[in-house]
Structure 1
Amino acid sequence: MRLRDLLGTTAMAAALVLGLATPSGAQAPAPAATPNATQATPIEGAQAMAAHRAAYRLSLNSTRPDGQVVQAQGAMLFEVRDACDGWTTRQRLTLNVVDKAGDTVDTGSDYSTWESKDGKRLRFTLTQMAQGAVTQRVSGEAELDGDKGGTVRYEQPEVQEMTLPPGTILPMAHTIRTLAMAKAGQKMLNVPLFDGTNDDGAQDSTTILSPWTPPLADPRFPLLADQASARMRIAFFDRDASAGASTPSYEVGLRYFANGIADEMKMDFGDFIMNGQLEKLEPLPHDC
């Protein structure tokens, strides 16, 4: 799951593993097409990931005293499907924000990906909206060459090619790796992360992992039964000279279960912090 970049222009991009969205009434783009690919070698731990559809309610946690936001609420829908040689995801988010002047902004995003199970290829499409109008489209394909980095070829907003730095990791591979690290008692992961939610290439990320926690005694949803979990906090930093890496552009805290499902989130956009609470959860069939 992933979220990022809210409210520079009051538009939203998510990132790591949860969310982006389409406002009510807007037409969502078609999911990213699955590239023709040879059979990929799955990343260790990938078999534990659950295909599912999750709906979240977003509510305001707090605002910064000198910030502009006074109210915010929204909803998020996240789907992940097992496409045999890869994972397909779709993340939709709507957010209603009110500023100190009383002005209301409705933003939304719709984000679709296909990521190969060997963690080497990502196909992505993102549409962002504000006040019902499209404000940005991003699409393209990224390919990694092990730890050497890789290349992303954008189709929108303009045709261009960028180099991805050594060690870059893709979204689902990041989820799988951090869960394995938490289970092994490791505490931190620092890697460039590329998810296709902007046209600036990879962002640096720091993930802080909490101790591995036994399954809940009485989970709300059957898919969470017998699933251990770990809390983690992920910070994103722009890869430019001003990113002196002390102030993240976005932070998200999550509780991830061993099967890749998150039930709680806290999203820090700087001016304000949002809570995300899992409201509905259902399994999805394999698409093989």
Structure 2
Amino acid sequence: MLRPSLATVLLAGSTLAVVSPALAGMEGARTLIPHRAVYDLKLKDVSERSGIEGMYGRMVYEFTGSACAGYTTNFRFVTRVDTGEDMRLTDQQTTTFENLKAGSFRFDTKSFTDDKLDRQVTGEASDQTTGIKVALAKPDARQVELTPAQFPTEHMLEVIENARQGKRFFEERLFDGSEDGDQSLITTTVIGKPQTPAADDVDAGNAGEFAKKPYWPVTIAYYNEDQKTDSLPIYRMSFKLYDNGITRDLTMDYGDFVLSGTLSKLEVLDKGQPQDNCH
């Protein structure tokens, strides 16, 4: 799961995957659906200290690939922020490639304010026996070694697998290349009991053929690495998760302000094509 960066939203200078684990009849096999999802964003809550008077935007997530070839995501998070003194257009553009079999993850994030590039973070990470090794190329070339952690697609697969097994809570470290790309985060995931969409649930209708399927309410909280105490998380995301991995009705809590995201369009890509059979 990619997280919209807090710094990007405020200064412009960010995991949502549509995942379907095909577990029945295939020992250990997990199939991910190529797709494109669009979410309309609006300000749900805000504190006086945030310096924000209004905010709205759009988030687009495109997911392609396969278990054998690896998975590519293209993620764009655009907001228009009213500070009371001016209007600011922020634009975060992230591309990642994750190879579950090889334990590798590449990431490139560009952050813009009013069409001006403010920041770019580029690098690659590999899952070593001792932990995560990160090679950053931008903004500065350097090497970082981190505690063992999961990459975004791997983490989302675990969320779904726990939901299917009825496990309501788990904790895991995550590396997604966000912020400066040099630290992992501790995540705590809470999964509610399955629910059925209400008849007046307008957001459900945009899930297309999956609109009437049961879903799990899921909340994931993110904490700074090695700093998870009694303090509040740096970021929290809640969403409705179907058993095929489709997510909708998002709530993104940054502490001083909260954004809601409504699924406005879902397109399943390359539907019906056979999946890889890796050995």
Letter in 1 for 2:71: W
Q: Note if 1:254 corresponds to 2:239.
A: yes
CA gap 1:45/1:129 in 2 versus in 1, 3 angstroms: farther
Which residue of the partner structure matches residue 207 of structure 2? 221
Q: Note if 1:163 corresponds to 2:142.
A: no
Letter in 2 for 1:106: L
Which residue of the partner structure matches residue 112 of structure 1? 95
Distance across 2 between alignment mates of 1:13 and 1:256: 31
Which residue of the partner structure matches residue 107 of structure 2? 124
Alpha-carbon contact 2:12-2:118 (below 8 Å) kept: no
Q: Note if 1:211 corresponds to 2:193.
A: yes
Alpha-carbon contact 1:107-1:131 (below 8 Å) kept: yes
CA gap 1:221/1:250 in 2 versus in 1, 3 angstroms: closer
Identity, % of aligned pairs? Answer: 26
CA gap 1:267/1:204 in 2 versus in 1, 3 angstroms: same
Which residue of the partner structure matches residue 123 of structure 2? 140
Alpha-carbon contact 2:111-2:118 (below 8 Å) kept: yes
Uncovered stretches (5+) of structure 2, i.e. residues with no partner: 18-25
Aligned pair partner of 1:230 in 197, 216, 229: 216
Matches within 5 A, 1:40-59: 44=28, 46-47=30-31, 49-59=32-42
Which residue of the partner structure matches residue 16 of structure 2? 17
In angstroms, what is the RMSD of aligned CA positions?
A: 2.7
- 1:89 aligned counterpart, secondary structure: strand
TM-score under structure 1 length normalisation: 0.80
Alpha-carbon contact 2:8-2:111 (below 8 Å) kept: no
Alpha-carbon contact 1:151-1:164 (below 8 Å) kept: yes
Which residue of the partner structure matches residue 276 of structure 1? 261
Uncovered stretches (5+) of structure 1, i.e. residues with no partner: 19-41
CA gap 1:8/1:122 in 2 versus in 1, 3 angstroms: closer
Offset of 1:143 from its aligned partner?
A: 0.9
Aligned pair partner of 2:74 in 73, 79, 90: 90
TM-score under structure 2 length normalisation: 0.83
CA gap 1:229/1:110 in 2 versus in 1, 3 angstroms: same
Distance across 1 between alignment mates of 2:105 and 2:78: 24
